[in-house]
Amino acid sequence: MDKILQITDTHLFADGDGELRGTRTGETLRKVLNHVQDHHADAKAILVTGDLVQQETEAAYRHFIQYFGDFQVPVLCIPGNHDDPDIMRRTLTMPPFRLDTRVSLGAWDVIQLDSHIPGSPAGRVGESGLAELDRLLKANRPRPTLVAVHHQPRPVGTPWLDGVGLKDGDQLLEIVSAHEHARAVIWGHVHQPSEGYHGHLRLLGTPSTCAQFLAGSEDFAIDPDAPPAYRVLYLDDAGRIDDELVQLQAADLPS
């Protein structure tokens, strides 16, 4: 069984002391990665599912590289609404970073989707991206497959967030669920946990490494009690998937 980590919405600044809604994002990410090293150093890969940075600058991505560049396992990255895909492609060029659409990890494949819409908090994979997704799923059968995207493909029950989700999420789920060897769709963006099924597909949304949004809120609101988090995915060779949501305890957090 392979262990893969999902880390999402790190929202880093060029300045290591940059704050997002009162949270020093670099400091909380450091605490998350320390926890990873202490408890899950045997992970085979890390998936960073978007919003790597808050500032769309090369300096902010260099800050991201400082945190992840020394990992000895692949670090898979996809863009979120706060990212700049062109700058990502220019800066995350060396190992361990992988921006490939399809990455093989042991018995599994990971398909990474770009849902970035310039200037919009919402997302869209688009007709060409959905067609490529379907083509890849037809080509890699029967390898168990995990599909990663930044924006949530279905509502999570927080009204203001559901207005800025994946605009073609229904089409994406229809395509992925038509392939029995596709096992799960995972995402970030929502800064809160979300779990469910679409047919046989596991659906997993993961909280941020920094501040979390208040679940169920009609309007934008931060949950002051929700800690930084990440998700552990356990993938076996037979195509079964299990997961663990890791939420940092008070002792793990910055003082």
What pLDDT does 255 receive? 46
| pLDDT confidence bin for 1, thresholds 50/70/90 | confident
> Residue 254 pLDDT more than 60?
no
pLDDT digit string, tens, across residues 211-247: 999 999 999 999 999 999 999 999 999 999 999 999 9
Give the length of the chain. Answer: 255
What pLDDT does 145 receive? 98
Q: Residue 2 and residue 234: Cα distance in Å, rounded?
A: 6
What pLDDT does 190 receive? 98
pLDDT digit string, tens, across residues 2-51: 999 999 999 999 987 777 777 899 999 999 999 999 999 999 999 999 99
* Alpha-carbon dihedral sign for residues 192, 228, 75, 142: negative
Q: Residue 199 and residue 47: Cα distance in Å, rounded?
A: 24
| pLDDT confidence bin for 251, thresholds 50/70/90 | low
What pLDDT does 250 receive? 60
Strand partners, 97: 75
Mean predicted confidence (pLDDT) in 58-84: 96
> Residue 188 pLDDT more than 80?
yes
pLDDT digit string, tens, across residues 76-130: 999 999 999 999 999 999 999 999 999 999 999 999 999 999 999 999 999 999 9
The contacts of residue 57 (CB under 8 Å, 6+ apart) are 14, 87
What pLDDT does 233 receive? 98
Phi, psi of 175 (to 5 degrees): -65, -50
> Residue 66 pLDDT more than 70?
yes
Which domains are present in the chain? 2-252 (3.60.21.10)
